[in-house]
Amino acid sequence: MHFAYVYYCLLVILKVVLWLQKLNKSADLVNANYGKLKEESDRLETHVKRACSSWILVLLVVVVMTFIWMVLFMKMFPKK
């Protein structure tokens, strides 16, 4: 009975060690992926900022032109 208990404990310890090795490999993979994700996120952020500023400028020009055309239309066709 004592031998079976020792054998069972050794199996449990072996399984824990194998599980910890897998966990360590997973942690290394997570760290590598985090670095890649951070790099890609920074690249995407610069791209979005540049594209966003262009669209804001285009929309601002459209709003100003609409306002100018509205004022001109009101001057050309006043109320009777």
Q: What is the pLDDT of residues 8-38, one digit of tens each?
A: 899 999 999 999 999 999 999 999 999 999 9
Q: What is the pLDDT of residue 14?
A: 93
pLDDT band at 48 (very low <50, low <70, confident <90, very high): confident
Q: What is the pLDDT of residue 64?
A: 97
Nearest to 59 by CA among 51, 71, 11: 51
Cα 14–Cα 23–Cα 35 angle in degrees, nearest 5: 160
Q: What is the pLDDT of residue 4?
A: 84
Q: What is the pLDDT of residue 1?
A: 62
pTM higher than 0.75, yes or no?
no
